[in-house]
Amino acid sequence: MTTPPRTKQQGLALILFLITALTVAGGSFFITAQRIKNSSIQSDTTTHKALAAAKQTLIAYSISYTPTNTAQELGRLPYPDRSDDGLLDGTSDCISYGTASGPIDNLQLLIGRFPWLAVGAPCPAPNLPINFDLRDSAGERLWYAVAPHMLPHQDNATFSPDILELNPIPPNQWITIYDENGIISDRVAFVILSAGTAHTGQNRSSNAISNYLDSYSVAGVGTINNYDTDLTFVKAAKSEDFNDKLIYVTIDELLPLIQKRVLLDIRSLLNTYRLANGFYPYPAQLGDINYDCDTTLSPGGGYIANRNTGPNPCTMPATIPLNNNLIPWLPYIIYEPRSDCTAANPTNCSNQFAGLTLDGVENKDMILMSSGFHALPSTANRIDYIEGAANSVDDQVFETPDPQISNDQLIFQ
């Protein structure tokens, strides 16, 4: 039996059918591909949001950190939630103060899960300002590593000055971050990592960090393991063997925020002094490591005074009642009261348009500046502390520091 030839109309219908079928199939493929693409974007978004939330939490923790022991320093960070106590329960696992060596001798103490619950005993720190379990797109809790400088511990219980110095003294150290091309920063205060989905050979029923975090080989450097305790980490493009994501904060980013908190604490004490006495205290001479109150510094600025036994002693009360955790900051703070705001002037801050000028406005009663990193913390020259011509000259004229060229912080009253 011979198949009859197709008519022109039948041929056209077949072509239309094929076009429709291909269009539907293509649309189906496009929709499926778009869903996969959107799923990937959603996964990345979930992870990035979790990492960003953890980062902001730790920044807020450091800025607001008020130790229960006044010998401990401001600006610290919590220990990770480590598995060496047999648990990963969300609480910070620190050393026992006075009985164990500090983390500069035990770097395994410095990496673990993000401590999202209350800080565990015996850690002398407030709770984290967050109380929800941050997870990445694979449902995994985040990991967290912290530099030794940023922790309260026996070895730097009275303050590690390396937080304010350009070249930390070994064995203290910052965290180092690499990417595919080499080193990104060797001054990292903390890093938070997302493990993502498991690779072949990783057993997520185990608490071993190597079952979560990955390795990557950097040309000229070698293999960097994100799961070991050398405080060295790597970020790289996603591959079959590497899907860690990380976010970090350097001490250069964090320090200005800690400095601002220190300045606010000192300003509060100075204002309390003024309310009680009617005037601000005199400064101490820059470079005077005894911080003796000096009556000759009016007008003029210097350190916050913490003693009254120098050659030009002040009448009592000579100084503000500094907490022990503020005293280590004295070599890094410059204080200048307006000349009519000290005890020597009977107007006692009544002349609102005399003296200190900030950004062209002449009504400031007092200026506080924090100098951040500088090489010579005990010299008498303001230029060795402060960046910028306007603020480094002792002429009672100041300007708000430009954050693009200076890490100095300034507040006023």
DSSP 38-63: HHHHHHHHHHHHHHHHHHHHHHHHHH
Q: Are residues 233 and 283 in the same domain?
A: no
Most confident by average pLDDT, 96-105, 228-237, 397-406 = 228-237
* pLDDT at residue 337 is higher than 70: yes
Q: Are residues 151 and 59 in the same domain?
A: yes
* pLDDT at residue 81 is higher than 60: yes
Q: What is the pLDDT of residue 396?
A: 84
Q: Are residues 245 and 308 in the same domain?
A: no
Residue whose entry in the numeric block shows the structure tokens 């001798």: 105
Distances (CA, A) of 389 to 131, 184, 393, 409: 46, 31, 7, 15
Render pLDDT for 271-297 as a digit per residue (tens, 0 to 9). 999 988 888 999 999 989 899 999 888
Q: Are residues 319 and 244 in the same domain?
A: no
In a domain, 11, yes or no: no
The Cα–Cα gap between 143 and 88 comes to 11
Its domain, for residue 55, covers 42-253
Whether residue 299 has a cis bond before it, omega within 30° of 0: yes
Q: Are residues 246 and 325 in the same domain?
A: no
Q: Are residues 60 and 106 in the same domain?
A: yes
Nearest residue to 233 (alpha-carbon basis) of 196, 168, 185: 185
In a domain, 327, yes or no: yes
180 contacts 218 by C-beta, under 8 angstroms: yes
In a domain, 15, yes or no: no
51 contacts 142 by C-beta, under 8 angstroms: yes
Single pTM value for the model: 0.81
Q: Are residues 249 and 282 in the same domain?
A: no
In a domain, 239, yes or no: yes
Q: Which position has the higher pLDDT, 169 or 190? A: 190
3-state secondary structure of 180: coil
Looking at the structure of the chain, the number of domains it has is 2
Q: Are residues 168 and 229 in the same domain?
A: yes
Render pLDDT for 232-251 as a digit per residue (tens, 0 to 9). 999 999 999 999 999 999 98
The mean pLDDT of 131-151, rounded to a whole number, is 88
Q: Are residues 282 and 146 in the same domain?
A: no
Q: Are residues 182 and 69 in the same domain?
A: yes
Q: What is the pLDDT of residue 195?
A: 95
The Cα–Cα gap between 40 and 231 comes to 30
Q: What is the pLDDT of residue 242?
A: 95
Q: What is the pLDDT of residue 148?
A: 80
In a domain, 6, yes or no: no
The mean pLDDT of 158-162, rounded to a whole number, is 45
What percent of the chain lies above the pLDDT cut of 70?
A: 72
In a domain, 201, yes or no: yes
Residue whose entry in the numeric block shows the structure tokens 């990380």: 246
* pLDDT at residue 33 is higher than 60: no
Q: Are residues 57 and 185 in the same domain?
A: yes
Domain boundary among 202, 236, 253: 253
Most confident by average pLDDT, 114-118, 159-163, 376-380 = 114-118
65 contacts 73 by C-beta, under 8 angstroms: no
Q: Are residues 132 and 234 in the same domain?
A: yes
- Which two structure tokens, joined as six digits, stand for 148? 């030794």
Res. 85 pLDDT band, cuts 50 70 90: low
Q: Which residues contact 309 (CB under 8 A, 6 or more apart)?
A: 290, 292
Instruction: Using alpha carbons only, give the angle 211, 175, 69 rounded to the nearest 5 degrees.
Output: 100
- Which two structure tokens, joined as six digits, stand for 302? 């210097």
Most confident by average pLDDT, 37-46, 124-133, 229-238, 289-298 = 229-238
198 contacts 211 by C-beta, under 8 angstroms: yes
Q: What is the pLDDT of residue 12?
A: 44
